[in-house]
Amino acid sequence: MTIRLSGAQLIVQLLERARVELVAGIPGGALLPLYEALDGATRLRHVLTRHEQGAGFVAQGIARISGRAGVCLATSGPGATNLVTAIADAKLDSVPLVCITGQVPQALMGTDAFQEVKTGRIVDTITKANFIARSAAELIDLLPEAFRIAETGRPGPVLLDVPKDVQREVIEVDLHKLPRRIEPVAIAPDMEAIRVAAEMIARARRPLLYIGGGVVKSRGAYAARALAEAGDLPTASTLMALGSLPAGHPLNLGMLGMHGAQATNRAIDECDLLIAVGARFDDRATGRADTFAPNARVIHIDADRREFGKIRRPSLAIEADARLALEALARALPAHSRPQWRQRIAELRAAYPASQEAADETRTPFAVIRAVAELAGPNAAVTTDVGQHQMWVAQAYPFMRPDRWLTSGGLGTMGFGLPAAIGAALALPEDPVVCFTGDGSLLMNIQELATLAELQCNLKIVLLDNAALGMVRQQQSLFHRRRYVGSSFERPTDFCAVARAFGIPALDLGAASEPMRILAEAFAAPGPALIRVPISADRQVMPMVAPGRSNIEVIAS
């Protein structure tokens, strides 16, 4: 069936054929033809955020939960530049994202027209690819290609810039011939390399499995658990892979790195074989790279061959989808028992117990985090912003599954938590969502409380409020002679009043005589709420490895 469609209507048709259900964004002059076309969409819902960065993070929340590319919209100029942080965040955390931006008409491009910027040049280093549509007909190939690139191999963001005249251009289109979304094809491992890897694991006396965010992206957590159990492999996780082995699993060593458990970092220091899967040897995980697993051979499995040797040269590199490689390796590896290595792990755990800092008190970070985990249940989606609260959650929250854990790892973006949680809540309308945040982080995108109030998602915001930029202040205390410049808020914000002004119920545990009862009541009530937990600005996240130091050179208290 051939019909006449504008470029904007064609974009809507292609998004619907790609089975996109939600797009987040803010309209502007260069994108108004697309917004007019959205009025005729049959299966496409638009979420109006209050800032384009918020739209990018809402789309990320949807993508991180679903595993499919999230979609965000922004107009030209400031709309596109406001998306940049969310795009960079998606690039570093390998999140599939399709960003559609408006652009001034082609006749005005290069004239410094109103709200004109060279969007493609700005995002060139933080996208997997970016395109500009020069005609409506080009959209038929470009938009499906954007989804293919975003979701194939190592996922990431793709931007499509669409001039206003292209959105208005009318062409004849055969609806039956419009392309549908192409399912990404995962990279299968080389089976000879898998055989060699299995032999290396079988011969090792102290092997250790080191899993990163690539395992989560590939939906490979169950395969990682199967391999760990088959090979009796103690397993350390990066921040991005928490929950890949459920909390309490005997092989789960928890998080490694700067704020990881001391026993975990020391086990890595003693291992003789490190099996790194979907991990990129980030400096926050490895500490000083030349002292990380110094006596170990390395098997590195990753979908992105550019990671091989970038930080640590592997003895064996396998380019493959993490899930497929883990499944193949579990099948190839005969069952093993390693009682001596297990005994050594037990000794390390006894000598360096995990932090239980003030867990028995009712208003401490650990106590509140564990209480929230119990109230929210194992299927809750959990987001954080970036800072001390993020590390406390990583240390204390008993994650049972990795696909419900959303945090900004590579870019470390304050302001991520609230809009990402809104995206997660939209993707999981039947499940609870929790956003742990700090006062400094919440202020970065606090306007999205208006979006939350409008949507009425079942989202609880747990605010650890110390009237400071806590992690900055901690590093100033430890490494910068306690020069607390620019890290304390001289006039703290009344967040409960702000939340109520936006239309969000709020409560303050600091003013409650029975804080845990009040907390339980807040979680029992449907819809959004903000829960403020006052903490001391002097409270620090421990243990900590100083930047540039070995992971076993630890500040413990």
Q: Looking at the annotation, which residues are catalytic? A: 52, 114-115, 164, 471
Query: What CA–CA distances, in Å, run from 345 to 245, 248, 265, 550, 553?
Result: 17, 15, 11, 19, 19
> What is the residue type of 408?
S
Strand partners, 96: none
- What contacts 539, CB < 8 A, 6 or more positions away? 364, 365, 388, 466, 470
Which ranges constitute the DSSP H helices of 67-128? 78-82, 84-92, 119-123
**Rounded Cα–Cα distance for residues 274 and 267 (Å):** 11
Q: Which residue, among 294, 298, 258, 265, has the nearest Cα to 279 in the 3D structure?
A: 298
> Phi and psi for 241 in degrees, rounded to 5?
-110, 10
CB 436 within 8 A of CB 417: yes
Q: For tokens 């299995």, what's the residue?
A: 198
**Rounded Cα–Cα distance for residues 342 and 172 (Å):** 67
> In whole angstroms, how large is the CA radius of gyration of the chain?
24
Q: Classify residue 113 by its DSSP letter.
A: -
- What contacts 44, CB < 8 A, 6 or more positions away? 12, 15, 16, 20, 21, 22, 23, 38
CB 532 within 8 A of CB 522: no
Q: Which residue, among 277, 187, 207, 274, has the nearest Cα to 240 in the 3D structure?
A: 277
